[in-house]
Structure 1
Amino acid sequence: MARVEPVVGEPAAIADLGEERVLLVADVHAGIEAGLRYERGVELDSRADDRRERLCALVGETSAERLVVLGDLAHRIGAPENDEREELAALIDAVTDRVPMTLVEGNHDAGVATAFGDRVDVIGPEGGVIGAAAGTNGSGGVAVCHGHTWPDPRLLDADVVCMGHEHPQVRLEDAVGGSRVERAWLRGQIDPDAFVNESDASAPAVTDPPEIVVFPAFNDRSGGTWVNVEGQSFLAPFLPAALPTGEAYLLDGTRLGEFRRV
């Protein structure tokens, strides 16, 4: 059975898939500073070098044999250009000099496959399964999707579903009224009926639902969903319904309990 284990202290996880050890991250949002300048007139120093060096360091530290990005490798919606394209090119070159790279297309990745498809393997926005055992007709393994659209129902045949898009965060308060916001993981057994579009007749009957893991954003400037704040709207069309009893964890591994009650 495939397992996905977070890297302590990092918005990244490792999956051992038998013949391949995979590092997974979500929502890198390369070029975010250029995007914020263009979209909102906000001027921030670029952290492009830091993002690239962190990713490459994690590949080495975890002995990963592949990097899988769960969508939104890029930031601006539209074909990458100028500063964003330069950052993407340098990041992709640095990673693929070390290991192969797979991108699950997110809602910010328009044009990435066209621009860099010769160096990056691409999985479509409905997702796919990696590491399925031979002879199982695609069952088992780790399912990957971004989360901005209804996923392929066949992902429910996997052992675990990994997704990005949501950028989960928790708002924590202390005894004197101070508060802080931290990135978090969400994990729990999936509700298969809520995970797929009710109009999709191809949804399989599921007797042993997989676990779902909602990844924190790799980019700490990209904001997110405060999952423990009443009235906060989720971004994925199947959340929070598909995660009825999910638990939240901080990047350092601290278990916070059911995310709705944190």
Structure 2
Amino acid sequence: MVSGVTPAVEPVVGEPAAVADLGEERALLVADVHAGIEVGLRYERGVELDDRADERRERLCDILAVTDADRLVVLGDLAHRIAAPEGEEREELETLIRTVTDRVPMTLVEGNHDGGVAEAFAADLDVIGAGGGVIGAGARGGADGRSGAGGVGVCHGHTWPDPALLDADVVCMGHEHPQVRLEDSVGGSRVKRAWLRGRIDPAAFVEDGDSAAAVVDGEPPELVVFPAFNERSGGTWVNVDGQSFLAPFLPDALPAGDAYLLNGTRLGDFRRI
């Protein structure tokens, strides 16, 4: 577990995944699976890569087993190509969804790469729209002195979220694929996937900032930005000047956010790494 993260959401050490306590069930949360990425890269850029579909599926199922989760929640971009899934990508999705749902129910929070996924797999998935929603609401009551409904807010992050997410104890999102660039003493560098976490600025989190600030009673929820589950999907180098964030509300909605590596190492304020 990453030290300091709200008790409702506990990252799985060494993995781009977290477990959320929803009261009556435990959910495993991941973001940006990008199933079919190898097919997409071949089509979009002419790049040929070995197919890791089986590895991704097995890894996800292993984490489900280890965490004893009752549900899988994908925080958007289950698929890679923005168009409706077809061909090899659809085959990967069919196998992945069937394998997961043979074990636990699966919820998809629609992302910008999920066009047609909800329709194609309507019988297999519970779907939350692009604006997001709150799961497990009322399970924990008002944490940290807040009087909201509680629960865990979920969204992908490619569009302005539903203001109702500000009533949650914590909000989880994907889309950004946060990464940090780390340099050593001799000038070498490496890029690592990272978590971002900090208290939300309500006025910057939703499109109508003035009304959003007015509805938050007490301390606003924390925001947890998930690393991409798919290590091939690239990302935002959050500690490099000139890198543009993808979500319309970031970085403004996270005025004081810490970065953590997948192994739990706290790097401090992502702006000062």
Task: Give the TM-score taking structure 1 as reference length.
Answer: 0.97
1:240 aligned to 251, 256, 269, which one?
Answer: 251
2:126 aligned to 116, 121, 140, which one?
Answer: 121
Distance 1:135 1:77 in 2: 36
Distance 1:154 1:114 in 2: 25
**Unpaired runs of at least 5, structure 2:** 1-5, 142-146
Which one-letter code corresponds to 2:49 in the other structure? L
Give 1:188's aligned residue: 198
Which one-letter code corresponds to 1:65 in the other structure? D
Structure 1 residues 11, 142: closer, same or farther in 2, change over 3 A? same
Give 1:4's aligned residue: 9
Distance 1:163 1:92 in 2: 21
**Unpaired runs of at least 5, structure 1:** none
1:155-196 C-alpha deviation (Å, 9 max, x unpaired): 000000000000000000000000000000000001000001
Count of residue pairs the alignment pairs up: 262
1:53 aligned to 2:63? no
Distance 2:212 2:16 in 1: 33
- Equivalent positions of 1:114-153 (< 5 A) are 114-133=119-138, 139-153=149-163
Shift of 1:205: 2.0
Segment drifting more, 198-207 vs 9-18? 198-207
Distance 2:212 2:269 in 1: 31
1:167 aligned to 171, 177, 184, which one?
Answer: 177
Runs of 4+ in 1 over 6 A off after TM superposition: 134-138
Shift of 1:208: 1.4
Q: Share of identical aligned residues, percent?
A: 77
Give 1:66's aligned residue: 71
1:228 aligned to 2:239? yes
1:27 aligned to 21, 28, 32, which one?
Answer: 32
Task: Give the TM-score taking structure 2 as reference length.
Answer: 0.93
Distance 1:68 1:226 in 2: 25
Distance 1:234 1:19 in 2: 35
